[in-house]
Structure 1
């Protein structure tokens, strides 16, 4: 079996792709995989470390306003299609999978024109421009939120969930806590703003550090590497409570997540897939800086099921955040109910679901 995968720009597109690749390799030891991305995207750093053959094309995204850059993007797209055709003709994949990001545009389009079976995976409740464009050419469209269904041709859509949800299962939460210096017995809340961190969340949490000192729970606070030094200076002024562990980044997120009782975070699709798979309640602070405000829509889908509380960034205050944490973490009934609601909407077999759709496409079903 030979599979070409493309997805890039952010971890939200790359980590689901990696989860799918691992599922395929687990079932087919002789499977050959190639990953097509850009040299400027995060994928160029992550994929080679996973020992997956990596090929690159040059492409940029469209500006959402009139700009001469869009003319250049069209020309890059045409060249990207040409380069993708060359890569695909050499590799001869049985299927091409796009997991999002503008790099998927020329890759998946080229595959469709070469009559290679194609599928795109949409992680968010509202799709971006690339997947809307590709939906006309691909054989199947896998979605993670039912809200996304309305944006695509109904006969092509299949609900699979996010493959990343499968990877957090079976992790050792105790080991995860110990790896970041937390107690194995105290209730635990994880606060983070995505892989790069989020300044508004950091500013709010710094103000809360003195108050956290007297709480009967512990906090793992991840600042994001770009904000860490700045946060450290602020922490030196207000003090670092013993029950608060501060880290710039963690590489064993699935393991650490398995040991958490509550998560405070942005509402990226991968994060939501992970926490619902584990049945972890959340306080979600959607990023207002994303395309089509999709994070708020992602967050609302959990809130509507009683699995999360949504706090908009414009309404975020230190008092409001600590009150929300206390109301969930210190109320056993609320915590239990939200855990059950989160678990209900999780899709722990998402990697297997997507794998089965891919196999059917390869077989011509």
Structure 2
């Protein structure tokens, strides 16, 4: 069997990194001996996450263009030019059979160069509203794997394949009955709420949780709280002094499958990959979309679930006054919990990685 070489580029947040890793793992299952090279953005979380999974990664000096004026924007043209030249060097040296982009700053230069050199390219677009980089690249790549219908508004229809979003293997192995043997077991049998503000944390959600810890204790609500590293480091003394028996605080949940198992209700940002995993988990869900994303795409992701009565939505700027009340009402409403679970389960797609891997290998064979 011929050994293939594949570059996978994506990063900046877990929502771009975890799909890239899931696709790589599935490709390894389907074709033994693939030589992978990941390309990310220097000083972003992929530079640590990807090697931890056993893959090599190269970082580009690239960052996003801010929609408001910042000093960082002055460096953007220089970073882009240097990243394009670096991408040429990487591709010439590695000589890939295929390049896959899962989003993030680094995927733009590497996909652009690969397409110019006539190397087969795939975009994996997670969101219901694609970012400007993927929209610009849509005409250049060979296939565009998407998670939502009606994406022909943004991409050439003949290139679009609806695959769903890749889900991490440990999430696919999720066991709803495993909550008594994991690290997130509370001594009491009260309702447990998992709070995840994305891999980088969410300031508005963190502030609400911190401000209402006494209320959660009074209401006998257990809280598993992923704060994100920035908040955790800034409040480490408060966290270490935690005297609440109904509270677990972590900067990042490494075993998310166990955390999902223990949770009765989940509060989350509305990143596309998070939503795809949460559909598979099928727990009652409150979404607080981040406002700090391109084209407000998290709100649009969340609204797609709300329209199907599969989740509740609290706007970020209303979290301070509404989130706790919405949570408590949901905790007290068993019928609504059952309805949300049933509806969100109907939206789950578990074989996206397999579909994308098949598309990738077929492109290489052409």
The question of a shared fold, defined as TM-score above 0.5 by the shorter chain, is answered with yes
1:183–1:349: structure 2 CA closer, same or farther, 3 Å change rule?
A: farther
* C-alpha contact 1:34 1:53 (8 A) present in aligned 2: yes
> More deviation in 68-77 or 290-299?
68-77
The 1-side partners of 2:259 and 2:308 are apart by 25
Q: Equivalent residue for 2:172?
A: 169
- 1:236-251 alignment, distance < 5 Å: 240-251=243-254
d(CA) in 2 for partners of 1:177, 1:360 = 42
Quote the residue 1:205 is aligned against. Answer: 209
Judge conservation of contact 1:166–1:349 (CA < 8 Å) in 2: no
Aligned-pair distance for 1:148?
4.2
Unaligned runs of 5+ in 2: none
Q: Give CA deviations for 1:182-231 in whole Å, capped at 9, x if unaligned.
A: 35954321012222222221221122211212335422122222212554
Partner residue, 2:331: 329
Alignment of 1:99-138 (within 5 A): 99-138=102-141
- Quickly say closer, same or farther: Cα 1:212–1:6, change in 2 above 3 A: same
Shift in Å, 1:118: 0.3
Q: How far apart in 1 are the matches of 2:70 and 2:219?
A: 52
The alignment of Structure 1 onto Structure 2 pairs a total of residues equal to 362
Q: Match of 2:199? A: 195
Q: 1:197 to 1:73 in 2, by over 3 A?
A: closer
Whether the 8 Å contact between 1:165 and 1:350 is mirrored in structure 2 is no
Equivalent position of 1:301 in the other structure: 304
Matched ranges for 1:24-63 at <5 A: 24-63=27-66
Query: Using the alignment, how far apart are the partners of 2:80 and 2:296 within structure 1?
Result: 26
SS of the residue 1:97 aligns to:
strand
Residues 299 and 147 (structure 1 numbering): CA distance in 2 closer, same or farther, change over 3 Å? farther
Residues 213 and 243, structure 1, Cα contact 8 Å, conserved in 2: yes
| 2:9 matches 1:6 | yes
1:214 — aligned with what?
A: 218
Distance 1:312 1:51, change over 3 A: same
Gaps of 5+ in 1: none
Q: State the distance in 2 between where 1:68 and 1:315 align.
A: 30
Provide the rounded CA distance (Å) in 1 between the counterparts of 2:69 and 2:248. 46
8 A Cα contact 2:281 2:345, kept in partner: yes
Give TM-score scaled by structure 1 length: 0.90
Distance 1:69 1:205, change over 3 A: closer
Residue 33 of structure 1 and its aligned partner are, at CA, apart by 0.7
Q: Is the 8 A contact 2:190 2:222 kept in 1?
A: yes
3-state SS in 2 of match to 1:361: helix
Equivalent of residue 179 in structure 1, options 172, 175, 183 = 183
Is 1:86 matched up with 2:79? no
Q: Deviations over 1:275-313 (max 9, x none)?
A: 111112211111112111111111111111111111012
Counterpart-to-counterpart distance in 1, 2:185 and 2:251: 14
In 2: Cα distance, 1:144 partner to 1:34 partner: 25
Q: Paired residue for 2:22, among 19, 22, 27? A: 19
Partner of 1:256, secondary structure, is helix
